[in-house]
Amino acid sequence: MKQLGWWVGMMVLAAGAQVRAEEATAPDNKDSNWSVTLGAGVVSGPKYPGASKRETGLMPIVNVTYRDMFFLDSMRGLGVQYPVSEHWSAYASIAAGDERKEKDDNRLKGLGDIKARATFNLGAEWEKDRWKLGVSLSRRMGKDDLPGQTGRKGGMLTSIEGSYAVVQTQQTEVSVGLSATHMNKAYAETFFGVNARQASQSGLRSFEAKGGLRDVELFIEGKHQLDKHWSLLGRVGVSKLRGDAARSPITQKSRSVSAFFGAAYTF
C-alpha cells in the first residue's frame, strides 16, 4: 500500500467504525478468546495537514483482540484496553505517528523530512445509548532532526470526539459527530513552524508556531452489517485548521474534505 502522507488525518476517518467493527460483525462464538477482523478500504484526503493536493489509496483494516483486553489494530496500534465501568473503558498503546516528506509537495522542499516515529497513546471511551465520547493523548517518542532544530522532541496531540447515532438498528448505525485536536508547542514547531534555516532553504517566511487548537472536524460515519461476518464501513469528514496551524506559511488550504469507505470480515 502506498504510504499516505497525512497519517493521522487520514487514518482517523476509519477509527470510529473500525475500532467498533468487532461489535458490528462478531459472530456468536463465546468459546473463543480471539476476535479477528480483517478488511480493506479506500481513503482520500490531503497529502499532509494544510496541503492543497489530495491523495487516494488503499488502507488495510486490522482489528485483533484477545480476551477483550489485548489488541492490535491499524488505528490504535498494539496495546491493552480495560473496562473501567459499564459505560467507560480505557486503553494504552504504541502506534505509528505522523510523517511528512519533502517530496509530498514543492512547497516543502528545504523543510526536511518528518519521520513516522512511534507514538505512545492513552485514551478513554464512554458509550451510552446512542451517545459516544472519546478522549485521547498521543505523544511522539524520540526526537526529530530537522534543518535548524536538531534533536527537537516531536510533541503531543490531545483529541476529543463526540457522536450521536441518528440511525440505530440491529444491522445499521449512522452517526454524526464533532472532533477537535489540540497540539502542544513542540508539535506545532515541528509540523507548522519555519525556522531561519528552513526559511532560507525553502523560500518561505520564518514562522514561530505556538501550541493551541490544531483543527476541528464535523463528520458522519456509518456501518452496515451484511451478515454475522461481513460489514461495510464508511466515514466522511470536513475539517478546518485553526490557530497557528492555519496561519503557517506551510499551509496552503485550511479547509479539507476526507473520506473512507471499506469492507471488513470478522472470523
Express each pLDDT in 20-41 by its tens digit. Answer: 444 444 445 455 899 999 999 9
Inter-residue contact 135 to 160 (CB < 8 Å): yes
**Gap between the Cα atoms of 163 and 179, Å rounded:** 9
How many other C-beta atoms lie within 10 A of the C-beta of residue 229? 14
Residue ranges for the chain with pLDDT beneath 50: 1-27, 29
- CA distances from residue 49 to 36, 108, 223, 259 in whole angstroms, order as listed: 32, 12, 27, 15
pLDDT at 31: 57
| CB crowding 19-52: b at 16 or more within 10 Å, else e | bbbbebbbeeeeeeeebbbebebebbbbbbbbbe
pLDDT at 234: 95
Instruction: Please name the amino acid found at residue 216.
Output: V
- Residue 250 CB contacts under 8 Å (≥ 6 apart), including other chains: 50, 107, 108, 111, 191, 192, 194, 204, 207
pLDDT at 11: 40
Which H/E stretch holds residue 227? Answer: none
pTM: 0.86
pLDDT at 55: 93
pLDDT at 6: 36
* 3-state secondary structure at position 189: helix
Summarize pLDDT for 136-157 with one digit per residue, the tens. Answer: 999 999 888 888 877 777 799 9
pLDDT at 153: 74
